[in-house]
Amino acid sequence: MPTPAHQLPGGPTDLNRRVATLERELRELRAARRARHTSLDVDGSLRLVDAQGNVLTEMTSSFDADRRAAVAAYEERGDRRFYAALAAGDLAFGIDGMRRQDEGRVAFADLGDRLELYLSSGSRESAASSLVVMYSGTAPGSGDSLIDLVTDRVAVGGVLTAGSIAVGTTTVTPSGANIPTSFLVTGLNVRGSTFRAYVTAATAVPGGAGVTGVGATNVTSGGFTLWVTRANTTPTALYWMVIGQ
């Protein structure tokens, strides 16, 4: 009559060996599935490749043939491949095939008596436009954002715009000679809690027979009142600026 022992293939020891072999093969199978699209090249590069052969992430000993690199990540967008690479403490990002000076970079340097954070959006040596956008906690318009810049010198090579500054030109026709005439400027949205307005007349004859005075009152975030007085009723262009603090 068969007993439970007859169900053991070759005895308990042989069963243990078979179970251990099965566990090892299962681990190897799982590892093979995880590494299905991963390649290790002869140059020391470890690449993660998707099913279509696109390189998603790369760990390599060289980047652009002249720099040490720790890791590079790629994203395919149409016929272009965007990348980000961390190389010797320098985070570079751009498009495959672009020149070194055209790539964006974020670098940190210890200069002994000071620390430096360098941001570049590329095109540093060309005439193409560059854009660097920094958000501090919230996006513009959704709440208070603060980026403190403490330095001895700030250089802006293009047009400077700020939510706390509004500029414009308004033409006012005096209601009579030597009579102060006002004009209400509206539609502004200057950021800040206190506001100042500065006005100057576009004229070649200040004083005497020309403009004798300009001014501004009731300055708020939304607008202010312009004033002009001149010796005649010639329409006068007034340049103005409102600054919020």
What is the pLDDT, as a whole number, of residue 152?
Answer: 73
Among all chains, which residue has been given the structure tokens 């513009």? 140
The CATH number of 165-244 is 2.60.40
pTM: 0.55
Does an H or E element contain 117, and which? strand 115-120
Give tens-digit pLDDT for 11-54.
556 767 777 788 877 776 665 555 455 655 655 667 677 777 77
Residues 6+ apart with CB under 8 A from 168: 185, 239, 240
Which position has the higher pLDDT, 165 or 149?
A: 165
Q: d(Cα 223, Cα 46) in Å, to the nearest integer?
A: 60
Q: d(Cα 62, Cα 69) in Å, to the nearest integer?
A: 5
Q: Is the pLDDT confidence value at 112 over 70? A: no
Q: d(Cα 70, Cα 62) in Å, to the nearest integer?
A: 8
Of the candidates 219, 209, 218, 214, the one whose C-alpha atom is nearest the C-alpha of residue 237 is 214
Encoded amino acid at 51, one letter: A
Is residue 242 very low, low, confident or very high in pLDDT (cuts 50, 70, 90)? very high
What is the pLDDT, as a whole number, of residue 134?
Answer: 65
Residue boundaries of the structural domains of the chain: 39-120, 165-244
- Distance between start and end Cα atoms, the chain: 99
